[in-house]
A = this chain, B = another copy of it.
Amino acid sequence: MKKTDTEQIRLANKKQIIHYLRVHGPIARVDLGQALKLSPATVTAITSELQQEARLIEHPATTEKTNTRGRPRVLIDLAPDAFHVLGLKLSINELKMHLGNHKGQVSDEMVIDLDTRALSEEGLFDAIASAVRRFNASVPAHKRPKALGIAVQGVVNGLNGEIIWSPALAVRKVPLKHELEQRIQLPVTIANDANCLTMAIRHQRRYQSLTDFAVIMLGYGIGMGMVINGELYLGHHGAAAEFGHSKYYPEGAQCLCGKRGCIEAYVGDYALYRDASALFPLSWDNSLHPTEDSMQVLVNKAESDSKELRDLFQRAGRVLGHGISNLIALLSLEKIIISGPGSRAYHLMEAGLMTNLEDSLVSDLIAETTIEHAAWDEDMTIKGIVVLALEAID
């Protein structure tokens, strides 16, 4: 047997234990071993190693029940302050940073406003490097981040860390990871916001046992993250999974990507607002970038008096149902989770979605795939990118 194989297994087991503690800790060693089907010897060896690295804390469980031998069980957990990472969210005209601790908990927000669409490539690298330096200067030395994760709206190559296209930027094909690592001397991880959301959801206890699922992120655009065989699937060219640019209708509605008929061109906030503005005089005149408030006005109006708007959201639901039927036919997934800021209108879309799914796909293929809505919380992108940055150095 190869030595490297032994080493790889040890590392894989270690990563698995760290992941499980991050989600479920504090927990007794015996329960950890049972949950992960690891032998007591393996658990002891790896947790000792983590203790030597000062990454583990033990606390006797005074409130937990004692075990059958009558001794109080010692619960272990990741030491929250063993080290920290920096999660940065790049959005239109904003860099938002948070510190993430070893447990994946988020704190210390810093927001920097700047005209992101005016930045050259070099300007972007400099702006992020300088933001990281400002953040570093604002936290005590023991909290200085050891890695940086950047969440980007748009299309990202998660393998080589290149931003292919983002609505926040005028420049395209930006080798952000490579250039930034030279400038800030920290490991850099880049992911699109939908993959960040997927990682955040994967770290929620209720979704922990899923191995094959997709998370559709409704918002300005429509993104998706996909977990296959328990791992985030980035695709061979790193750009999976662009559900928003899979198709509803050949030669259909105009999409911001430049093509027509994409699902996003019917379900994205910009598409809903654009279509609503053809029905009503709307107050917000920049219809391509509707605010959260203007989107909420549409939802309220649909709920109170407008059948036209209810129909608009219903159709968006049908378009989602069409796309989801393709996903299920192709991938036979366990669960599809719908979230993101645009899911504010999920209750108006759900009936259309379910009806069209049943109209599109025979029940034998829908099988036991379930579809559910997960409440959106805007910090989930940050939580996800913090987890990705942690996993890059775990």
Chain A: residues with CB nearer than 8 A to chain B?
1-3, 5-6, 9-10, 13, 38-39, 41-42, 45, 155, 164-165, 172-173, 211-212, 224, 226, 228-229, 231, 233-243, 245-250, 257-259, 261, 318, 322, 325-327, 329-334, 356, 359-362, 364-365, 367-369
Contact = CB atoms under 8 A, between A and B. Distances in A.
B247 A360 contact: yes
B330 A246 contact: yes
A242 B164 contact: no
A200 to B, nearest CB: 21
Contacts of A224: 330
A238 B332 contact: yes
Contact of A332 (B5, B234, B369): B234
A39 B368 CA distance: 44
Contact of A242 (B3, B250, B329, B359): B329
A41 to B, nearest CB: 8
Contact of A240 (B1, B211, B240, B331): B331
Nearest to A5: B9
Contacts of A247: 322, 325-326, 360
Contact of A155 (B5, B325, B331, B364): B364
Copies in the complex: 2
B249 A250 contact: yes
Contact of A245 (B39, B226, B329, B367): B329
Contact of A243 (B41, B329, B364, B368): B329
Given A2-B42, A258-B362, A334 B236 contact: yes
Nearest to A228: B228
B9 A361 contact: no
A40 to B, nearest CB: 10
B9 A330 contact: no
Given A1-B6, A10-B1, A364 B236 contact: no
Contact of A236 (B2, B155, B258, B333): B333
Nearest to A325: B247
A2 to B, nearest CB: 5
Contact of A365 (B42, B242, B331): B242
B361 A259 contact: yes
Contact of A246 (B5, B326, B356, B369): B326
A152 B232 CA distance: 32
B250 A235 contact: no
Contacts of A367: 237, 239
A248 B245 contact: no
A333 B240 CA distance: 9
A241 B1 CA distance: 35
B330 A242 contact: yes
